[in-house]
Amino acid sequence: MSEKIGVYVCHCGTNIAGIVNVEEVSQWAGSRLKDRGVVIARDYKFMCSSLGQELIEKDIKELGLTRVVVAACSPHLHERTFRTACERAGLNPYLCELVSIREQVSWVHTDKIAATAKAEAVLSGGVERVIHNEPLEPLKVPIHPDSLVVGGGIAGIQAALELADGGNHVYLVEREPSIGGHMAQFDKTFPTLDCSACILTPRMVQVGNHPNITLLTWSEVTKVDGYVGNFEVAIKKKARYVNTELCTGCGICVEKCPKKVVDDVFEAGMAKRKVIYIPFPQAVPNFPVLDAPNCTFFQKGTCKACEKFCPTNAIDFNQKDEDITVKVGNIVLATGYDLFNPRRIPQYGYGRLENIFTSLEFERLCNASGPTGGNIVLKDGITPPKTVGIVHCVGSRDQNYNGYCSAICCMQSIKFAHLVHERTGADIYNFYIDIRTPGKSYEEFYQRVLDEGTHFVRGKVAEVTEVARSPEEEGKLIIQVEDTLIGKQRRIPVDMVILSAGLEPRYDAKETGKLFGIACSADGWYIERHPKLDPIATMTEGVFIAGCVQGPKDIPATVAQGAAAAARIQGKIQQGEITLEPIRASINEDQCSGCRICNDLCPFSAILYHEDRAVSEINAALCQGCGTCVAACPAGAISGTGFSNEQILAQIEGLLLLNIDQKESKKVLA
C-alpha cells in the first residue's frame, strides 16, 4: 500500500540555501518521513536545471518511485517543469507536487532555524498530500473551427479580418446598426493626423464583403452555453423593420422620414437624425434601421412615409426580432468603452453652461460629416472661438471618480489643440497634470504643438465658471486653475472648453462579462489571464478580450490585441483539439441524494440535474475546478480531482507534523 516517494530539496543557489538549511531538510525527510514512504531524499543546487530534472527522472526509473515531491520555488513557476520531467520518466505528471520553500519561506523569513523548521513542515505537508494524489489524464476536447467576435469596433474588425483571412469562418456581432465603433466618430487620429474614417472604412468594407465573415449588426448575444471548442451562442437579431434582401441602400426612406430625434450615439448628442436612419454615410452594412420607440407609426399608427416611398418595398413594419443559435469554438470580446460623464463633476459646468464639450462631442464638431461640417464654432453655429481651453484628466487620475490614467487623453488633447490652431487660429490653453506621450512619434507631435504656440498650463482645473470678476471676463467661460509651475492661481477666460473625459468600461460590462463567464476587476475592465504576459486571454478557456475592454489604450495597441487574439485562436483551430487541465469535480452517483445544493453554486452552469434518476452530474469540460461544490456537498458525494478532501486533510496533518513524533509538532521558532 505504501508509496515510494522521492523528495528533492532545491538550494536555488543561495536563494533558499542562504536561509533554509537545505541539507538538514533533506536529511530530515529521508529519516523522519521514511515510515511515510520516502525512499530517497536529495538536495541539489538548481532542481529546475536539466541536471536537476535528470535526478528525478533517474530515480523514477531506477528506484521505481511512485510519487515525487520537490521543495523549491512557487508552483506557479515550475510545477509544469517538474511534472513534465516525471512524465518523461514514465510517471503520471499529477503524481508530482511542488511545495514552495522560497517565496513562502526563505524569502520572507530571517530566522534561519525557524525557516528550516517551517520548510520541514511544508515539505511534510507536501509528502502527506502527494500520497493521496491520483494519476490523472488531461481532457482533450475538439475545437469547432468557427469563431465569434463580439463588438465591431477596430479591435473586433481586426480580429475578425485576421481570422477570416486565415481561412476560418467568423461571426461578427455588433450592437449598433453599423460596425466602426468609436473610431468611426473621430475626425483625425494621432499622431499621424490620418483621417480616421479614411483608414477605418476600407477595413469595414472588407468585413462587409468577406466570404468568411457573417456580419450580424443590430444584434446582441443573449446566451452562451458550452465550453472551449464547443460554445453554443444564442444571438438576437433585432428587427430593423427593413428587409435587407430587398434594400439597395438608396436612402430615400431616410430622406422622406418627417421626424427627427437627437442622435446621442454616433453624433454624441450634437446633431439630430431621422427616425429611420443610417448612422453615418460609410456605414457597413449600408441598410437603414427604424428606431421603433420613436417612430410615429408605432406610436400613433400613422405616417409610414418610408414604406410609401421605398422603390423596392423593403420596409417591413411587421418584422420581428430573430433569435438564432450558432456553434463556435472560440470567442473574442471586443466591446470597447464608454466615455466618463463630466456631469459628475459639477464644477466643470458641463451640461449647465454652454460651449463646454466632451472629447467625443468635439470630434463630431471637427468631423466634416458632423453637425457643423467640420467647422469649429460655438453653440451659435457661426462664431469661431477666439480662445479655447482643453482640460486633461477629466474623471481620470482622480480618487473621487476613476483612479487610473485613461492613456489616450493627453495625445487626444494635444491633437485637439493642433486642430483648433489649424482651423481657427484661436489662442489655446491645455491644462494638464502630466503629459503622457509614450507611443511612437507621440513626443514629437507634442513638440510640434508646443511650437505652434499652444500654452500648456500644469495644473488641475478647479472650476469652469461664468461668473466674471473683471471686465475682460464678462461673457466668457473662466477657467480657474493653479499654475503649479509658477505657483500662482490663474483665471483664464475662454470661449470654448473641451473636456478630455476619461475612458470607462461599458455601462453593462459586468452583465456582459457574466454572460461569457469572465469577471471584471475593481475598475470594471475585464480581468486578463496575466497583466504582463497574457493580456488577451481570460481565465475562461476559449474566451479572449481585445482592445479597450481590457483597459484604456490607443489604436495601435488595440489593433495589436485584436490580431493577437485572432492568432491565438488560429493556433488552436489548427491543432484541432485542446487539452484541458484535469482539475475538475465529479459526483459519485451512488452517494448523491439529489438534494441539489450544488446546482446553484456553480457559476459556470456545469452541474446538471437528472430528473429521472434524481441525481446531479457535473459536465467535466464546463467545470473550471473551483471546488465550491465539493465543499458544499453534505453527503461528501463530490470529489475534486487534484484537490480532494483526502489530499487537503492529509496536507494539514503533514503541516502540523502529526505524521511524526508528537513532541515535534509545535516546533516553529527558536
Contacts (CB under 8 A) with other proteins, residues 507-566: 514, 517, 519-522, 527, 539
Q: How far is the CB of 318 from other proteins (least distance, A)?
A: 40
Tell me whether residue 63 or residue 669 sits nearer to other proteins (CB atom): 669
Name the minimum Å distance from CB 189 to other proteins. Answer: 33
Among 130, 131, 154, 184, binds other proteins (CB under 8 A): 131
Sheet holding 213-216, edge to edge: 213-216, 170-173, 147-150, 330-333, 543-545
Q: CA 535, 540, 541: angle at the middle one, nearest 5?
A: 90
Q: Provide the minimum distance between the beta carbon of 667 and other proteins in the complex, in angstroms, as a whole number.
A: 7
64 touches other proteins (CB under 8 A): no
Cβ(42)–Cβ(68) under 8 Å?
no
> Shortest gap between Cβ of 515 and other proteins (angstroms)?
11
Interacting residues with other proteins between 607 and 626 (CB under 8 A): 624-626
Residue 109 sits in the site that holds other proteins (CB under 8 A): yes
Q: Strand 607-610 vs strand 615-618: parallel, antiparallel, or unpaired? A: antiparallel
Shortest spacing between CB 121 and other proteins, in angstroms: 6
CB 547, CB 532: distance < 8 Å: no
Q: Does 114 bind other proteins (CB under 8 A)?
A: yes
**460 contacts other proteins (rule: CB under 8 A):** no
Q: Which residues contact 657 (CB under 8 A, 6 or more apart)?
A: 120, 121, 124, 664, 665, 667
- Select the residue interacting with other proteins from 199, 250, 378, 656 (CB under 8 A): 656
Region of 195-203, 225-233, 387-395, 465-473 interacting with other proteins (CB under 8 A): 465-473
> Is 658 among the residues that bind other proteins (CB under 8 A)?
yes
Nearest to 562 by CA among 146, 151, 175: 151
List the interface residues with other proteins, window 183-202 (CB under 8 A).
Answer: none
Q: Which is nearer to other proteins, 212 or 619 (CB)?
A: 619
Q: By CB under 8 A, is residue 604 in contact with other proteins?
A: yes
| Residue 469 contacts other proteins per CB under 8 A | yes
Please report whether residue 648 would count as binding other proteins according to CB under 8 A. Answer: yes
SS (H, E, C) 395-448: CCCCCCCCCCCCCCHHHHHHHHHHHHHHHHCCEEEEEECCCCCCCCCHHHHHHH
Counting contacts by CB under 8 A, is residue 353 touching other proteins? no
Three cell numbers, residue 188: 483625425
Torsion region of 296: left, alpha or beta (phi above 0 gives left; psi -120 to 50 gives alpha): alpha
Residue 239 engages other proteins in binding (rule: CB under 8 A)? no
Backbone angles phi, psi at 291, to 5 degrees: -85, 85
Residue 507 CA to residue 527 CA, distance in Å, equals 16
Q: Which stretch binds other proteins (CB under 8 A): 47-55, 116-124, 159-167, 191-199?
A: 116-124
Q: At closest approach, how far in Å is the CB of 625 from other proteins? A: 5
Structural contact between residues 101 and 613, judged by C-beta atoms closer than 8 angstroms: no
Q: How far from 575 is each of 140, 166, 170, 568, 594, CA to CA, in Å?
A: 11, 14, 18, 11, 39
* Distance in Å, CB of 317 to other proteins, minimum: 42
Written as one letter, the residue type at 256 is: K
Interactions with other proteins, residue window 580-599 (CB under 8 A): 583
**Minimum CB separation from other proteins for residue 51, in Å?**
25
172 within 8 A of 566, measured Cβ to Cβ: no
Alpha helices in 183-337 (DSSP H): 196-209, 252-256, 296-300, 305-309
Closest to other proteins by CB, 100 or 217: 100
Among 84, 104, 243, 480, binds other proteins (CB under 8 A): 104
Which region, left, alpha or beta, applies to residue 126 given φ > 0 means left and ψ of -120 to 50 means alpha? Answer: alpha
Considering only residues 309 to 348 of the shown chain, the ones binding other proteins according to CB under 8 A are: 346-347
State which of residues 607, 630, 637, 639 lies at the interface with other proteins (CB under 8 A).
630
From CA 29, how far away is CA 130, in angstroms rounded? 14
311 vs 531 by CB, closer to other proteins = 531
Q: Which is nearer to other proteins, 88 or 112 (CB)?
A: 112
409-424 vs 359-366: helix axis angle to the nearest 10? 30
CA distance 104 to 19: 12
Nearer to other proteins, 65 or 623 (CB): 623
List the x/- string, 141-170, binding to other proteins by CB under 8 A. ------------------------------
Residue closer to other proteins by CB (options 131, 390) is 131
The conformational region for residue 160 under phi > 0 = left, psi -120 to 50 = alpha, else beta, is: alpha
Compare residues 12 and 150 and give the one whose CB is closer to other proteins. Answer: 12
Cα distance between residue 480 and residue 462, in whole Å: 6
Asked if 132 interacts with other proteins (CB under 8 A), we say yes
Q: How many amino acids of this chain bind other proteins (CB under 8 A)?
A: 71
Binding mask 68-87 for other proteins (x = CB under 8 A): ------xxx-----------
Check binding of 640 to other proteins (CB under 8 A). Answer: yes
User: Cis peptide leading into 93, omega within 30 of 0?
Assistant: no
Give, as ranges, the residues between 362 and 421 that touch other proteins (CB under 8 A): none
- State the Cα–Cα distance between residues 253 and 574, nearest whole angstrom: 46
| Beta carbon nearer to other proteins, 102 or 175 | 102
